[in-house]
Amino acid sequence: MKLRNWILFTCLSFPALAQQPQNPIQRAQQRTFTVATIPQPGDVLTLTQAIEQAVSKNYQIQINRSQEEIARNNYTKGNAGYLPSLVFNGLSNGSLQSFRQTYLDGLRPPQEANGVFNRTTNLGINLNYTVFNGYARSALYAQLQQLLKITSVTTRANIEATVAGIATSYYDVIRQLQRLIAFTQALDISRERLELARANYEVGARSKVDFLSAQVDYNTDSAALIAQEQALRNAKVLLNTQLVREPLTEFAVRDTIIARPNLEFASLQQSLNTNNPLLVSAVLNRTLADVSIRLASAQQLPLVTAQTGYTYQFQDNQGGFGIRTGRTGSLNYSVTASIPIFNGYNLKRQIQNARVNTIIAQNQENDQRLQLHLALTQTYQTYQNSLRLLNLEVQNNQLANQNVDIAYDRYRIGNSTFVEFRDVQRNAIDAQIRLIEAEFTAKAAEIELLRLSSTITQELGR
């Protein structure tokens, strides 16, 4: 009975093979989706759209822009002390009195009044101006300028970091999607093998162990696919969070990972030295420390201030004593000069500390430059090594796919065991995963190089 079923199975297989010359593995590979064709829920999200949305909604960037606006508002000559201050003062006092008076000489009759209203009004305007304060206001104005530049550079640094983070997360979604496609293809091949093992077992051409092993491998690949689906969901949740929107928002990606092979270390290093916001901020902080010395030294010089004002006074006395009504106007001015002589060596201490802070700022700048050059060198080495691995893994993936075709044909006709075929299949999956990882690693290194060189907004933010 089994022999007859095997002959029938073989006879039915020949017409099918005549109509479809490819083996099941090749058919499974052709049925596999690509990033451009795999069904995905939600609207298509491009990298440009993701970057624009993140930069416009990122909370830290909004905070930085608000701080930059405050620094811009503070950067005025009035805030630095260049302009005078003008103050108007007004005061009006009034009283309502009742009195009865007698006199010692007895010559005048007693006086008595009720509801007597008395009022005194003072109006004045004062102008204060600092004539000289040891060049402190020029130093303060320079300090306000440096603070504005620092906040502007900080905003740019966070924008570039956000763009780099979005790009890396976006390509991570593509990586997880490509891994999902690879595991789907592996499961499809395991399904073909399981169907073949079941047919062979039913006709008695293979043992039950072969069929059960195919079932175990199919379940293993199914579990790997489920785990990869979760990894893809996690990557999308992370990107949605960075885009400041609902974490479970569905979206589709249709891009592929293509690493640029032509980044040059010399141009990247030159751009880093000129444009990197972290390094620029360190330079600005050193300049700010130099300004602090000027501010401290200004306290050693004389302080000259001038004041002038006009006062108008009006009196209305209905009580009948002294002045009945009066009006007085006066113009006054004063010039004050103060020279610091001794304040317990506190001024000397402040100047010394300001100079020490300058040394600290210089060391911080040098350390920042050193750390950035180290990061650039290490990232560029990773980038070059990833490109070499990428070229190698492309060849390995092609060879591994061909090996799966051959192994399946050998397994189908009984020239190899299920263990040998599974090893070949696992090697093919590993080769494909290594290729995906090499592509992503090279792209992530490229993104980091663009961030370090401060060219990422020009390259990816367009």
264-292 confidence digits (pLDDT tens): 999 999 999 999 999 999 999 999 999 99
Residue 259 scores a pLDDT above 80: yes
pLDDT > 70: what percent of the chain? 90
Residue 144 is predicted with a pLDDT of 96
Query: CB of 214 within 8 A of CB of 191?
Result: no
Mean per-residue pLDDT for 56-71?
96
Structure tokens at 74: 């503070």
Mean per-residue pLDDT for 369-381?
97
Q: What are phi and psi of 386, to 5 degrees?
A: -65, -35
Residue type, 73: N
Alpha-carbon gap, residue 441 to 395, rounded angstroms: 18
Alpha-carbon gap, residue 17 to 50, rounded angstroms: 48
pLDDT > 90: what percent of the chain? 59
Total residues belonging to the chain: 462
Residue 459 scores a pLDDT above 90: no
Alpha-carbon gap, residue 212 to 214, rounded angstroms: 5
Alpha-carbon gap, residue 423 to 401, rounded angstroms: 13
Q: Tell me the pLDDT band of 406, cut-offs 50, 70 and 90.
A: confident
**Exposed, middle or buried by CB within 10 Å (0-12, 13-18, 19+), for 109?**
exposed
Question: Count of alpha carbons within 13 Å of 79, Cβ hemisphere only?
Answer: 13
Stretch among 34-48, 285-299, 405-419 having the lowest mean pLDDT: 405-419
Mean per-residue pLDDT for 125-133?
92
Q: What are phi and psi of 418, to 5 degrees?
A: -65, -30
Residue 441 is predicted with a pLDDT of 95
Give domain limits for the chain. 20-103+133-304+343-459
In this prediction the pTM is: 0.84
Structure tokens at 76: 């005025």
Residue 127 is predicted with a pLDDT of 93
Mean per-residue pLDDT for 45-63?
95
Alpha-carbon gap, residue 187 to 208, rounded angstroms: 21
Residue 449's nearest CA partner among 315, 263, 173 is 263
Residue 311 scores a pLDDT above 50: yes
Residue 373 scores a pLDDT above 90: yes
Mean per-residue pLDDT for 347-352?
92
Alpha-carbon gap, residue 445 to 376, rounded angstroms: 10
Residue 184 scores a pLDDT above 80: yes
More confident residue, 47 or 202: 47
Query: CB of 136 within 8 A of CB of 82?
Result: no
Looking up tokens 């440096």, which residue turns up? Answer: 146
> Could you tell me what percentage of the chain is helix, strand and coil, using 3-state DSSP and rounding each to the nearest 5?
65, 15, 20
Looking up tokens 């058919």, which residue turns up? Answer: 27
Alpha-carbon gap, residue 386 to 382, rounded angstroms: 6
Q: Tell me the pLDDT band of 20, cut-offs 50, 70 and 90.
A: very low
Query: CB of 153 within 8 A of CB of 284?
Result: yes
Q: What are phi and psi of 43, to 5 degrees?
A: -75, 155
Residue 9 is predicted with a pLDDT of 34
Residue 120 is predicted with a pLDDT of 84
Residue 439 scores a pLDDT above 90: yes
DSSP helix/strand/coil, 309: strand
Q: Tell me the pLDDT band of 31, cut-offs 50, 70 and 90.
A: low
Sign of CA dihedral 194, 197, 198, 199: positive
Alpha-carbon gap, residue 432 to 187, rounded angstroms: 14
Alpha carbon dihedral 434, 437, 439, 444, in 10-degree steps, equals: -160
Q: What are phi and psi of 327, to 5 degrees?
A: -135, 130
Fold of 20-103+133-304+343-459: Outer membrane efflux proteins (OEP) (1.20.1600)
Provide DSSP, 123-174: EEEEEEEEEESTTHHHHHHHHHHHHHHHHHHHHHHHHHHHHHHHHHHHHHHH
Encode pLDDT of 206-223 as tens digits.
Answer: 778 888 888 998 999 999
Query: CB of 201 within 8 A of CB of 207?
Result: yes
DSSP helix/strand/coil, 231: helix
Residue type, 438: A
Residue 34's nearest CA partner among 253, 191, 236, 237 is 253
Looking up tokens 């496609």, which residue turns up? Answer: 181
Mean per-residue pLDDT for 344-366?
93
Residue 455 scores a pLDDT above 70: yes
**Exposed, middle or buried by CB within 10 Å (0-12, 13-18, 19+), for 179?**
buried
Alpha carbon dihedral 202, 207, 210, 215, in 10-degree steps, equals: 40
Alpha-carbon gap, residue 423 to 427, rounded angstroms: 6
Alpha-carbon gap, residue 386 to 439, rounded angstroms: 7
Residue 390's nearest CA partner among 455, 460, 447, 445 is 445
The overall average pLDDT reported for the chain is 86
Residue 400 scores a pLDDT above 90: no
Query: CB of 147 within 8 A of CB of 74?
Result: yes
